[in-house]
Amino acid sequence: MRKPPMETTTTKAETRPRARKLDGARVAAEIKREVAEEVARLSERHGVAPRLVTVLVGEDPASAVYIRNKVRTCGELGIISEHHQLEDSAESARLVEMVESFNAREDVDGILVQLPLPRGFDESAVIEAIDPDKDVDGFTPVNVGRMMLRRPALLPCTPAGIIEMLAREGVEMRGAHAVVVGRSNIVGRPVAELLLQRDATVTICHSRTRDLASVTREADILVAAVGRAGFVRGEHVKPGATVVDVGMNRLTDESEVRGLFGDDAERRLNTLRERGQTLVGDVHPAEVSRVAGLLTPVPGGVGQLTIAMLMRNTLKAARLRRGL
């Protein structure tokens, strides 16, 4: 007598369709089109072309790539870019002097010093030296204070870009429970504040949070900004939640890539073999895509929004400085 076939069971996560892409790249392209149109109008009506000055200290390859992307995007949108390089053997005082010279120039609308700075530089002193009205990164204490008080400000680019993406992709923030994993001054804290300003109920988690998964599973919107590849797993995510992956981590080990991407690893492995590395986020893509409702890809998600919002801040600074 033949035995009946064994029954198989599947979990809820396995039977759910994969998460839809939260399309940061599309939103970034939309923002850049709007900026290009505004820049053209500003030039036509007022004879003004916004100018962004970028400063790179040292020869860090990743920082150099970021600067090249920013300079290229300026050219595409009609913004004048001016790049300055400083040796990592220079002193903080020399960088501060350079920043102050840009503050004094009427033709400079935005100043961006690429972070992180090499060891030995006083990052806080450099940031505080930037004229708040030209602080297109939104990092100076004045702009942070303005943001916290809900006054007009140049907002930090990545957090502001996340809010723009959620709004334009139709994600309801009002009344939602948003959980931010990470408390950095660059992303975690400001994105929590901006979500709060959109009437979300916000929880900030960090390395000392007890039973992290029990907190993150309550999130309608989960923002991962911890800087650890694949840190947020399927167990951390509420079914159907919107997950924003802010992480940008470089992997060079094939076994790690296979562990994160499972059956979808081949394309990433090809990138790793061609370039010696592949970019991944703070979210475990294979696990979280089976639980979340919406998920940002890495790359192609938040990173492109950051540059788009930098361009918008540069335009905004140019207009505000001239009372337009």
Catalytic residues: 70, 114, 137
CA distance 219 to 203: 9
Sequence-distant (≥ 6) Cβ neighbours of residue 175 within 8 angstroms: 199, 200, 201
The one-letter code for the residue type at 269 is L
Q: CB–CB of 302/25 below 8 Å?
A: no
CA distance 178 to 195: 7
Rounded distance between C-alpha atoms, residue 37 and residue 257, angstroms: 41
What is the spatial distance between Cα 19 and Cα 3, in angstroms, rounded to a whole number?
A: 38
| Exposed / middle / buried, residue 12 (Cβ in 10 Å: 0-12, 13-18, 19+) | exposed
- Count of all residues that appear for the chain in the document: 324
Per-residue burial over 133-169, b if 16 or more Cβ lie within 10 Å, else e, is bbbbbbbbeebbebbeeeeebbbbbbbbbbbbbbeeb
What residues are paired with 55 via a beta bridge? 84, 113
CA atoms within 13 A on the CB side of 13: 14
Helix (H, G, I), strand (E, B) or coil at 224: strand
How far, in Å, are 191, 225, 292, 295 from residue 18 at the CA level? 26, 22, 8, 9
How far apart are alpha carbons 278 and 291 in whole angstroms?
A: 24
Q: In whole angstroms, how far apart are CA 213 and each of 108, 121, 203, 218?
A: 46, 37, 13, 9
